[in-house]
Amino acid sequence: MSVVALEGVSKIYRSGRVSLTALDRIDLRVAAGEFTCIAGPSGSGKSTLLHLAGMLDSPSRGTVSLLGRDCTGLGRREAALLRRHHIGFVFQAFNLVPVLTAAENVEYVLLLQNRPGGERRQRVRAALEAVGLSAWADHRAADLSGGQQQRVAIARAIVGRPPFILADEPTGSLDSATGTAIIDLLLEINRSQGTTFLFSSHDPRIIARAGRVIRLVDGRISGGDNRSHG
């Protein structure tokens, strides 16, 4: 069973008389345990694809399934519940709350899931340890470096132990050494916990770390996809 499957998916943004095809008849299945990169230049449709795979938006045509369930016509509340329990996000749009501490930013996910206090504390501690930030738990997000903030975002994405994590340009705002460390951290989570990853990048060094690369050009998958690791 696929973790996420897009079949014949198109996304057309309309504004007035102008319409723009951001994704054009995409077929994509991501199986459990994959570490897959959506690669492509700016404007090629990477974010749009990740938003559809994350049930944050609906396709104009085609179907999107999560864990074998067709989610295409899902209402907003149902989609929110599905996301909360099955998908972790590392997206610029879900920035950290700057005045909250690293631990509080991570704990927020578990509060939404109504987890009891003891379990929350234990899980937050484990998630911050996994990203190497135990010593920074009580620092406010605003006081952390860019790389540390991205680690908090990753801790927040893994703390609910979702089977699937989506990351939109997770290294985009980082210098190259920090970016490489972040992608290696994601790969380590993928290997040790079996979490499926779908992430986007236009950076060749990051793309080279992926187990599978899907190349998008003008909203279409170009040249088949490449499974480099066996």
Q: What x/- string results for residues 102 through 131 when contact with ligand ADP is judged by CB under 6 A?
A: ------------------------------
Among 36, 44, 149, 150, binds ligand ADP (CB under 6 A): 44
Structure tokens, 25: 């008849």
Closest distance of CB 202 from ligand ADP, Å = 8
171 binds ligand ADP (CB under 6 A): no
**3-state secondary structure at position 105:** helix
Task: Kindly tell me which of 46 and 156 has the beta carbon lying closer to ligand ADP.
Answer: 46
Residue with tokens 């690369």: 213
Give 18's strand partners: 15
CB of 160 closer than 8 Å to CB of 81:
no
Closest distance of CB 161 from ligand ADP, Å = 27
Task: Kindly tell me which of 45 and 179 has the beta carbon lying closer to ligand ADP.
Answer: 45
CB of 49 closer than 8 Å to CB of 58:
no
Distance CA 111, CA 193 (A): 23
Among 42, 75, 223, 230, binds ligand ADP (CB under 6 A): 42
48 binds ligand ADP (CB under 6 A): yes
Q: How many CA atoms lie within 13 A of 171 on its CB side?
A: 24
40 binds ligand ADP (CB under 6 A): yes
**3-state secondary structure at position 151:** helix
CB of 24 closer than 8 Å to CB of 48:
no
20 binds ligand ADP (CB under 6 A): yes
CB of 212 closer than 8 Å to CB of 50:
no
Give the binding range for ligand ADP (CB under 6 A) out of 45-53, 66-74, 97-105, 181-189: 45-53
Among 4, 5, 9, 22, binds ligand ADP (CB under 6 A): 22
Closest distance of CB 45 from ligand ADP, Å = 4
Structure tokens, 205: 């060094």
Residues near ligand ADP (CB under 6 A), total:
11
Task: Kindly tell me which of 40 and 160 has the beta carbon lying closer to ligand ADP.
Answer: 40
Q: How many CA atoms lie within 13 A of 101 on its CB side?
A: 13
